[in-house]
Amino acid sequence: MSDSVGLRERKKAATRAALSAAANRLAIEHGVDHVTVEAIAAAADVSPRTFHNYFSSREEAIVAGVVDWANALTDKLRDRPADEPIWDALLAVLLDSVDDRPEAKARWKAQSEMIMANPSVVASQLAALDGMRRRVAEVVAERTGTDPDRDLYPRLTGGSAAQALKAALDLWISGKTDRGIKELIVEAFELLRAGLPEPSQSR
């Protein structure tokens, strides 16, 4: 029984991933306004009805990859050694989850430009990122003995980590630095852990 359940879950995950990848690719290639649920379903070789079993809208499908990546990240965070300092654990899972290759940077850039050009997709992405912050806060609370519904620490930690990642990604894909995403994430975490000291004014 467990084997059959596991197989069904893997098939469902594969279908969801295929739909999300198709939605993202079509949105980048043709623009969100020219992408339909029917086109996404056809590209993933499923029916529009199957699409609606997984997503309520094309926008939700487009950003689903971010949601799934964030969910996998928090699962990895739960698997880190219990006695590992929380900021060390967060940094480790982030560095293990990002791709520093040029082709990955090109994909991030294309996706970011597509999202920013479409307010409806921006809203879906913001909702996805907020979900990521909540999930990270829950894991931080578990690891630190705090309560995400009552204490600031897990909320601040989750939000700060998510913002550090976003700031590093935004700078990386801007093309205005030749530094890699992992190097930028490490620096972002170092600055946070140091309390964001004001940069030196020396020139």
Q: Tell me, what CATH number does 163's domain have?
A: 1.10.357.10
State the CB neighbour count (10 A cutoff) for residue 127: 14
Q: Do the domain assignments include residue 117?
A: yes
| pTM (predicted TM-score) | 0.85
Does any domain span residue 144?
yes
Give 57's contacts (C-beta < 8 A, 6+ positions apart): 124
Note whether residue 142 is domain-resident: yes
Q: How many domains does the chain have?
A: 2
Question: What mean pLDDT do residues 42-58 have?
Answer: 96
Q: Which residue among 56, 78, 96 closes a domain?
A: 56
Q: How far is CA 86 from the centre of its chain?
A: 19
Tokens encoding 42: 């056809």
Query: Whole-angstrom Cα distance, residue 22 to residue 58?
Result: 10
The answer to whether residues 27 and 67 belong to one domain is no
Q: Are residues 6 and 101 in the same domain?
A: no
Domain that holds residue 73: 63-193
How many whole angstroms separate alpha carbon 32 and alpha carbon 114?
A: 8
69 and 167 co-located in one domain: yes
In a domain, 198, yes or no: no
Percent of the chain with pLDDT over 70: 96
- Same domain? 104 vs 167: yes
CA distance 32 to 24: 9
Same domain, 12 and 91: no
Note the pLDDT tens digit of each residue in 93-142: 999 999 999 999 999 899 889 988 999 888 888 887 788 888 899 999 99
Distance from C-alpha of 182 to C-alpha of 155, rounded to nearest angstrom: 24
> Quick one: 6 and 32 in the same domain?
yes
- Inside any domain, residue 202: no
Three-state SS at 3? helix
Structure confidence at residue 1 (pLDDT): 58
Residue 52 domain flag: yes
